[in-house]
Amino acid sequence: MMKTVSAAIPLFALCGLAQAFTYTVTIGIDETNGQQGIGFDPSAIRPSPGDTITFTYALPEYLKNPPPVQHSATQSTFDNPCTAMSGGFDTGVHETGWVSSSTGDSFNLVVNDTQPLWFFSSVGDDCKQGMVLAVNPPLSGDQTADAFKQKAMLSTSTPSATAPSSSSSPASSQPPSGTSSAAPTMTSPPPPSQSTNSAASHMAKLELCLAAVVAFIGVTVMAQ
């Protein structure tokens, strides 16, 4: 029996290794309706250390011949949502393409810890229109994904300006507009969100892996 258990341990370790996961964020999609728009889809994700964020400009196949639109995925800070963080990740400005024609560039960023990461689109007033992405945002307090979006939409700064940020009055003093947290009206059914799929397959993979380990132990026990 000792032998069985020790043989199973490397399998459990493999389950852990298999968990490194890719979160795909599509640039130029309004996540509330799945249509082309000023937004990241999804606009909030919770990757684990070691996971990869793939920023893609390739729009999904259900959009038929979408016109190319320029955006960026540029890292910022919570305090200055619409200003590029010095030394931060930046895809640069790119045009959206169509997955069916194999156009639309992709950029990967490996997540190394669970610290929040904040992103915006630096094109035009994308950011003021709420085109922001929160990675591992706090779920409560005054630095949530919603608070970040509100702050971006209230932002008066162009990417190079430095607006004074009053630390005593957080963005949450503004009443939320309700558009960001309201449930989308399902007039045209949006495609299943990538992140929901991701989370589901993440769990499925873990369960499969653990099932394999249990099966392995079972077979080994029966063989003895």
Ligand X SMILES: *[C@@H]1O[C@H](CO)[C@@H](O)[C@H](O)[C@H]1NC(C)=O
In whole angstroms, the minimum distance from the beta carbon of 51 to ligand X comes to 10
The pattern of x and - marking residues 109 through 148 that bind ligand X according to CB under 6 A reads xxxx----x-------------------------------
Q: How many CB atoms lie within 10 A of CB 56?
A: 25
CB 151 within 8 Å of CB 181:
no
CB 32 within 8 Å of CB 184:
yes
Distance of CA 1 to the CA centre of its chain: 44
Of the pair 112, 197, the CB lying nearest ligand X is at 112
In whole angstroms, the minimum distance from the beta carbon of 176 to ligand X comes to 28
Binding region for ligand X (CB under 6 A) out of 62-70, 104-112, 136-144, 150-158: 104-112
In whole angstroms, the minimum distance from the beta carbon of 24 to ligand X comes to 16
By the rule CB under 6 A, 108 interacts with ligand X: no
Nearest residue to 113 via CA among 46, 59, 181: 46
In whole angstroms, the minimum distance from the beta carbon of 49 to ligand X comes to 9
Total number of residues shown for the chain:
224
What is the C-alpha separation between 42 and 49, in angstroms, rounded? Answer: 19
Which residues in this chain contact ligand X in the complex, by CB under 6 A?
A: 109-112, 117
